[in-house]
Amino acid sequence: MQRRTFLRGTAVAALAAVPLTHLPSAGAAEAAPPVATLAALQTAINAAAPGDRIVLADGTYTVPSGGISVSGRNGTTDAPITIVSETRGGAVLQGERSFVFSNSSNVTVSGFAFRQSTSLELPANCSRIRLTRNDFRFADIEGLYWVVVRADDAKIDRNHFHDKTTAGIFIVVDGPGSTAMAQRLHIFRNHFSDHSFGGANGGEPIRLGVSGRALSGANAVVEYNLFERCDGDPETISVKSSDNIIRYNTIRDSVGGIVLRHGNRSRVEGNYLLGGTDGLRLYGNDHLVLNNYLGGLSGRALVVGSGTTRDHNSGETTEERRGNDACDRAVIVHNTLLDNSSTLSGETRAFEPRSVVIADNLLVGSAGSLVAMGTTTAFTWQSNILWGAASNGNAPSGGYTRVDPKLATGADGIARLSAGSPAIGAATLGSPVVTDDIDGDARGSARDIGADEYATVPPVRRPLTTADVGPNAA
């Protein structure tokens, strides 16, 4: 514990010493000298025009209860209004609030250390607000949501969200009204760590929607984020809306996994879930799950969920909407599940999953059953490989081959195919087209089974580390 505290303190000190030298400020005029008071900062914001870059000097500032107003400020796509700390993490904002946005667009906020005690909101009357290279550690208040997004086209990138012990969520995505979703949110290259709330619900790092908004498409992209020791909820990325992409994230040593809890037509691709508890759980319709690597999980690695209902609809009661929608017509292809306590399983609610395709996956385990599905209807099982001391379970004959895939573990701890593996060139599912693998290697016309396509060159993508994410990431 003492070592962890020391390392964190060292990281904060290093962060504060890095100048903000390559922030997005295309088209900006030469920056004015830093302002040194909140009053001067407010005056500069009130007069800001497209391309302006406003710098707040390093220091600790107690923000008045009304917050720092960003109202009616509109940059452009090529010339945003940029509000930055003199050095990354050097301007610390404490108090009840920090920035309060309204009727603004194309505004970037970068490099601050946020220590406030209420939510930071991006409201629906704003658009194209960017939060980048900030350090978020709000007051540890029960039930506090840290960042709430209702604005369209927002970006949240290269931030660190960390250290919470109570219920509450790091990023909540909602929208205007009671059923709509904020559109086209992009969450990328962030580091989420150390949420130690021990309850069973309410401590997700990211909640993308809520049950009442489940049928609305959000078209959000959550990619290249690192989650470590996120133990506040069984759902690290909780998807409760439709039409989203969750890709290239790494979840390590965390209780939570990726859960498509409500909604339809989402894509879960190229994620690493390593050494934690839960993996992927799927509810709703028409999802695509491909190229994911789930290794060393102590809970359920991949669950094809059953439901209390089949197909949520706009006429449901609030209570009905909260129920699980059985997983129908998902395609689960080219995933590797390795040495998990429970590999591929189902559930026992009244409505069974239907018409799911499970093809070209690699399932390896040393104990229990590799497949433990509940009742299913019209599943397609095709060209999967099963291996290890674990039994086949109730995998249907004809849907798999039991053969040693000849895996070799690399320096990054990931097991990949080695030369001569029977998985090479053995994939058979023709649609959808899968063009590359979890490493970023091209699949070609003769695809391999599992998340990895055999290659002799270093991977383009790999499990993320702290060097890849957060305020100092490229």
Give residue 17's pLDDT.
41
* DSSP three-state, residue 9: helix
pTM, two decimals, is 0.93
Cα distance between residue 227 and residue 466, in whole Å: 10
Cα distance between residue 146 and residue 125, in whole Å: 19
What would the pLDDT profile of 369-384 be if each residue is shown by its tens digit? 999 999 999 999 999 9
Give residue 31's pLDDT.
58
Please answer whether residues 291 and 334 qualify as being in contact, where contact means their C-beta atoms are separated by less than 8 angstroms: yes
Question: Is residue 28 pLDDT above 70, yes or no?
Answer: no
Cα distance between residue 417 and residue 415, in whole Å: 7
The percentage of the chain sitting over the pLDDT mark of 70, rounded to a whole number, equals 93
Question: Is residue 5 pLDDT above 70, yes or no?
Answer: no
If phi > 0 it is left, if psi is from -120 to 50 it is alpha, else beta; for residue 368 that is: left
Question: Is residue 20 pLDDT above 80, yes or no?
Answer: no
Give residue 200's pLDDT.
80
Residue type, 408: A
For 283-321, give one letter per residue: b (16+ CB within 10 A) or e. Answer: bbbebbbbbbbbbbbebbbbbbbbbebbebeeebeeeeb
Domains of the chain: 140-468 (2.160.20.10)
Q: How confident is the model at residue 30 (pLDDT cuts 50, 70, 90)?
A: low
Question: Is residue 35 pLDDT above 50, yes or no?
Answer: yes
What would the pLDDT profile of 202-239 be if each residue is shown by its tens digit? 999 999 999 999 999 999 999 999 999 999 999 999 99
Cα distance between residue 414 and residue 417, in whole Å: 10
Cα distance between residue 102 and residue 105, in whole Å: 9
What would the pLDDT profile of 340-367 be if each residue is shown by its tens digit? 999 999 999 999 999 999 999 999 999 9
Question: Is residue 23 pLDDT above 80, yes or no?
Answer: no
Cα distance between residue 199 and residue 164, in whole Å: 12
What would the pLDDT profile of 417-470 be if each residue is shown by its tens digit? 999 999 999 999 999 999 999 999 999 999 999 999 999 999 999 999 999 999
Give which of 181, 187, 208, 49 is closest to 130, Cα–Cα.
187
If phi > 0 it is left, if psi is from -120 to 50 it is alpha, else beta; for residue 466 that is: alpha
Average pLDDT over residues 109-132: 98
Going 441 to 442 to 447 to 450, the CA torsion angle's sign is positive
Average pLDDT over residues 116-130: 98
Q: What is the mean pLDDT of the chain?
A: 93
Question: Is residue 26 pLDDT above 60, yes or no?
Answer: no
